[in-house]
Amino acid sequence: MKANRKPFSPGPARERIEAHWSYLCEQIGERRAGSAGERAAAEYLLDQFRRAKLETVHAEPFPCTTVGEARAEIALGCGRSLKPVPARVLAGSPGTPGRRAATGELVWVEMPEQAERLFQPTLRGKVVVLFGPMPTRADLHRRLVKCQPAAVIHVDDRLPFDWVKDDGVYPAWVRRYGMPPIVTIPYQAAWALRKQGASRARARIIAELKQGHSQNVVGEIRGRRPDLPLVLLGAHHDTQCNNSGADDNGSGVVALLELAAILGPERPLRTIRLVSFGAEEQLSVGSAAYAIEHRRETPGVGVVFNLDSVSSPLGHHWVIRAGTRVFGAWLLRELARAGLEAREHAAPMPFADHFPFSVFGTPAVTFLRPNMDSGMRWQHHSAQDNLENVSVTELARVVGALAQATRALARAVRWPFPRGLAPEQRAETARLGKELFGIKANA
Ligand SMILES: [Zn+2]
């Protein structure tokens, strides 16, 4: 590795950025929670944190679900002529009973407007195609489990992809309510089948889940006043399956390492803690474990800046804000001064690692760079999320601006914004914290 030949650089360094990125995405590749790839990424981070001379460098392990074997044979069509369709097992899904194929009638349900159909007992033993988002409300997920379909086929409606996109189901829901066997298929395959009037399906799903463990990797730039709340910089080093996660979230991890290199040699007033979280893709499992474990630490975490998917060549810089308007306005001003014009989004957003901290009232943001109007990235969670589709320039821009904002806070005795969330965020944040993570804010 040439990564650290230069011990210090005043700004983001292209060569170093590329070396980290290539190690994570080419040497290691896929880094699914609990896998050998994820462990290798954590080892790399421990090593790099030490080389950057961070203090108290260590890993904090926590339990997570790991996927052993997972494959699906799905055939759809009319009558007896069923044709195979590429499919992927959703993380957390069980297999079809006895590893056998289930054959049955195909029922198309358009979500969310036809969600009421999940309340019909007639879905039992059938194969249900869900077109649109998976249920985002616990009661709907529970209904889906209760109707006992033989299998569920999910079709992601965010863009007409000809490849399979995959997300998971919230682990807390799977633990509490269970889950039917669920696979995803490409939008375009579903389109063609719908036009043909496909009405039957055969689904054989093999999925083996094990209890495993993941880890958060921690290092600190020690401040002169450890009695003051600290600044936490975060990212996640795990990926979804079948991709090298160059943007999601190799970009955030590389940015974190770059921040370590830039800020490491400084001696701030407040401590800056860097944490690379594991198992984010299973819904912020690592950051939730961390936020819960450290919630009583004093003086504790004063603010969280999390980086997740920040390197789209074309795109919009977003700041997902959990915190007051004053906090948001201060941050946007600070970023703009450093050459990063960002847009802010203030609705509670549980799909990133800043969220669990916000449930405890800590001001927290996630930096994100979507490239679609919907706030998504087209390459997200697919093999297209590779080093061909990232931008060093955009990554360096985020790093430079965030280094400046971090410095401003790390040298201040008083901060220009209050602790806590905006009043309009509180109820929804508490509900999501409880429903998705089982966090009770006051526990
Ligand atoms: Zn991510």
Return the residue matching tokens 């998917």: 309
> Ligand 1 mean position to 235 CA, how many Å?
8
Give distance in angstroms: CA of 91 to centre of ligand 1.
15
**Cα-to-centroid distance, 288 and ligand 1 (Å):** 14
Rounded to 5 degrees, what are φ and ψ at 61?
-75, 155
Which pLDDT score is estimated for 262? Answer: 95
Strand-pair partners of 70:
207
- CA 27, 368, 39, 265 torsion: positive or negative? positive
What gap in Å lies between CA 352 and CA 317, rounded to an integer? Answer: 15
Q: Where are the beta strands (DSSP E) in 136-199?
A: 151-155, 182-184
Cis check: omega of the bond before 242, within 30 degrees of 0 = no
CA 422 – ligand 1 centroid, Å: 25
| Cα 352 to ligand 1 centroid, rounded to whole Å | 7
pLDDT of the residue at 317: 97
Average pLDDT of the chain to the nearest whole number = 92
From ligand 1's centre to the CA of 248, what distance in Å? Answer: 5
How many whole angstroms from 116 Cα to the centroid of ligand 1? 31
Query: 15 C-alpha to center of ligand 1: Å?
Result: 24
Query: Cα of 29 to ligand 1 centre, how many Å?
Result: 15
For 30, 171, 221, 352, 356, the CA distances from 267, given in Å and listed in that order, are: 36, 40, 8, 30, 29
Residues 6+ apart with CB under 8 A from 176: none
Q: 237 CA to middle of ligand 1, Å?
A: 8
Half-sphere exposure of 149 (CA within 13 A, CB side): 32
Ligand 1: distance of its center to the CA of 267 in Å? 30
Res. 171: pLDDT tops 80: no
Residue pLDDT, tens place only, 104-157: 999 999 999 998 888 878 899 999 999 998 887 888 889 999 999 999 999 988
Q: Which residue has 């830039």 as its token pair?
A: 262
Please report, to the nearest 10 degrees, the dihedral formed by the alpha carbons of residues 283, 279, 264, 327 taken in order: 10
For residue 236, report the distance from its CA to the centre of ligand 1, in Å.
Answer: 7
Tens-place pLDDT, residues 221-248? 999 999 999 999 999 999 988 789 999 9
pLDDT at 218 exceeding the cut of 50? yes
Measure 249 CA to ligand 1 centroid, in angstroms.
Answer: 5
Q: How much distance in Å is there from the Cα of 281 to the middle of ligand 1?
A: 6
From ligand 1's centre to the CA of 247, what distance in Å?
Answer: 8
Categorize the per-residue pLDDT at 9 as very low, low, confident or very high, splitting at 50, 70 and 90. Answer: very low
Kindly state the average pLDDT of the residues 60-79.
Answer: 90
Asked if 186 and 161 touch (Cβ cutoff 8 Å), the reply is: yes
Q: Are 78 and 44 in contact (CB under 8 A)?
A: no
Distance (angstroms) between ligand 1 centre and the Cα of 251 equals: 9
Could you tell me the distance, in angstroms and rounded to a whole number, from the CA of residue 250 to the centre of ligand 1?
9
Residue 282 CA to ligand 1 centre (angstroms): 10
User: From the CA of 355, how far away is ligand 1's center (Å)?
Assistant: 13
Would the pLDDT of 8 be above 50? no
For residues 215-223, give the mean pLDDT. Answer: 98
What distance in angstroms lies between residue 308's CA and the mean position of ligand 1's atoms?
Answer: 5
Predicted pLDDT of residue 7: 41
Residue 54 alpha carbon to ligand 1 centre in Å: 24
Pull the structure tokens for residue 44. Answer: 């790399």
Ligand 1: centre distance to CA 48 (Å): 21
Model confidence over 385-424: pLDDT tens digits? 999 999 999 999 999 999 999 999 999 999 999 999 999 9
150-186 CB burial, b ≥16 within 10 A, e <16: bbbbbbbbbeebeebbbbbbbbbbbeebebbbbbbbb
331-388 pLDDT, tens digit per residue, is 999 999 999 999 999 999 999 999 999 999 999 999 999 999 889 999 988 889 999 9
* CA 225 to centroid of ligand 1, rounded, Å: 33
SS3 at position 418: coil
Pairwise CA distance, residues 167 & 156, whole Å: 9
| Residues 317-330, mean pLDDT to the nearest whole number | 98
Centre of ligand 1 from the C-alpha of residue 147, in Å: 32
Q: Residue 159 contacts by C-beta under 8 Å, 6 or more apart in sequence?
A: 187, 372, 376, 378
